[in-house]
Amino acid sequence: FSYKNDKEILETDDRIQIIREKDYLGFYELVIAEVQPEDAGVYSCKAVNKFGEASCEAKATTVDFKNPFGALSGQILQSGEKSIFSWKRNGEPFDPEERFKVLFGEDEDSLALVFQHVKPEDAGLYTCVAQTSTGNISCSAELSVQGAIQTLNREPEKPSLVIEHREANTSIGATAILELQCKGFPKPAVLWKHEGEVVQVDDRHKFMFEDEESMSLVIKSINTEDAGEYTIEAVNELGQDTSSINLTVKAPPKVKKIENIVCTAGETVRIEIEVEGFPQPDINVTNNGKDIS
């Protein structure tokens, strides 16, 4: 559920769209096109299932568009004369470093100061001063840095699934634990499927996490329907990886009781016997203790 100022967001407005293309991985997007002042407010997202609920929120602020060069008055340059530009930050001379670039427009009538990998300390009032033979002109714009800056503490890495045991065996009524390691950074989203169907958390299926990379699918009260192939898909911004584990469920032999039959001499009789078990049990039929071949 999505809310704005505690009111549920409905997709009746053509400008508002909730994208659910990757909902199977837990990713949702709220897209607001052509932002208007009334779009400002506190947006929240609530996730609910039978085990509880969780929510998060973020504040959206809208500002009026301002042209930082709108207050400049025109100056006339002599033929062939070029302006000399300099920059100031908070009133002090500022020399663009490696993370900053000064770009000129194709017509050489405009220029821009481009910030790369903005940091909180980059906030401040930036002033561009153009020096000509007739004097100086300048314009200023303030840079505000909002939100937390995430610092990567390791090199980005595409997902990689490491499975030590691809064949798992268990028995009826027991608990099965399917283990793997999921490497990658940022942390990949992991999706489990059983015979093509997404594995959902319920009373018998749980996910356990030993550390940042190790995870297990725990299946309680095993039955024969739990047997088969479990596929795992890990996805992050750099790519994806897939792998599988095969679960074999062993069941002891079980023979359905045979009903007594009355027949006459010379009559053909068919006796059907139902046998269950895995692996497939060996069948031995006897008559009064003697094997029937």
CATH of the domain at 47: 2.60.40.10
What pLDDT, on the 0 to 100 scale, is given for residue 110? 66
Q: Cα dist. 98→95, 114, 117, 156 in Å?
A: 10, 11, 11, 22
Q: Cα dist. 146→149, 166, 287 in Å?
A: 9, 47, 86
229 domain-assigned = yes
Decide which of 221 and 63 is more confident: 221
Rounded-to-integer distance, Cα 138 and Cα 268, Å: 110
Answer yes or no: are the C-beta atoms of 85 and 128 closer than 8 Å: yes
pLDDT at 148 over 50: yes
71 domain-assigned = no
- Domain range spanning residue 257? 152-293
Alpha-helical segments (H) within 1-45: none
Q: What integer is the mean pLDDT of 177-203?
A: 94
Across 187-237, the runs of DSSP E, i.e. the strands, are 189-194, 197-198, 205-209, 214-219, 228-236
Rounded-to-integer distance, Cα 201 and Cα 199, Å: 7
Rounded-to-integer distance, Cα 203 and Cα 220, Å: 8
Number of independent structural domains in the chain: 3
Decide which of 245 and 78 is more confident: 245
pLDDT at 215 over 70: yes
168 pLDDT tier (thresholds 50, 70, 90): very high
Both 138 and 160 in one domain: the answer is no
What pLDDT, on the 0 to 100 scale, is given for residue 263? 86
What pLDDT, on the 0 to 100 scale, is given for residue 72? 45
What pLDDT, on the 0 to 100 scale, is given for residue 241? 96
78 pLDDT tier (thresholds 50, 70, 90): low
79 pLDDT tier (thresholds 50, 70, 90): low
Both 218 and 273 in one domain: the answer is yes
Answer yes or no: are the C-beta atoms of 221 and 227 closer than 8 Å: no
16-20, 68-72, 156-160, 161-165: segment of lowest average pLDDT: 68-72
74 domain-assigned = no
pLDDT at 220 over 90: yes
Q: Write the pLDDT tens digit of every residue in 103-131.
A: 665 555 666 777 777 777 888 888 888 77
What pLDDT, on the 0 to 100 scale, is given for residue 217? 96
For the chain, the average pLDDT equals 81
Place of tokens 């508002």: 16
Closest CA to 279 of 239, 257, 250: 250
68 domain-assigned = no
Both 126 and 171 in one domain: the answer is no
What pLDDT, on the 0 to 100 scale, is given for residue 1? 62
Both 139 and 160 in one domain: the answer is no
What pLDDT, on the 0 to 100 scale, is given for residue 132? 64
What pLDDT, on the 0 to 100 scale, is given for residue 152? 56
Both 171 and 250 in one domain: the answer is yes
What is the reported pTM? Answer: 0.44
Both 170 and 257 in one domain: the answer is yes
Both 43 and 108 in one domain: the answer is no
70 domain-assigned = no
122 domain-assigned = yes
What pLDDT, on the 0 to 100 scale, is given for residue 104? 65
Q: What torsion do the CA atoms of 179, 185, 189, 191 make, to the nearest 10 degrees?
A: -40
Both 54 and 106 in one domain: the answer is no
Q: Write the pLDDT tens digit of every residue in 36-75.
A: 888 888 888 888 887 778 888 888 888 765 554 444 444 4
66 domain-assigned = no
199 pLDDT tier (thresholds 50, 70, 90): very high
Both 269 and 158 in one domain: the answer is yes
Rounded-to-integer distance, Cα 211 and Cα 215, Å: 7
What percent of the chain is predicted at pLDDT more than 70? 81
Answer yes or no: are the C-beta atoms of 87 and 113 closer than 8 Å: yes
Q: What integer is the mean pLDDT of 156-175?
A: 93
Helix %, strand %, coil % of the chain (to 5): 5, 50, 45
What pLDDT, on the 0 to 100 scale, is given for residue 74? 47
Q: What integer is the mean pLDDT of 207-214?
A: 90
Both 139 and 156 in one domain: the answer is no
pLDDT at 2 over 80: no
- What is the token pair recorded at 101? 């670039």
pLDDT at 254 over 50: yes
Q: Cα dist. 256→5, 245, 273, 290, 291 in Å?
A: 63, 32, 7, 21, 19
Both 176 and 130 in one domain: the answer is no
Both 199 and 239 in one domain: the answer is yes
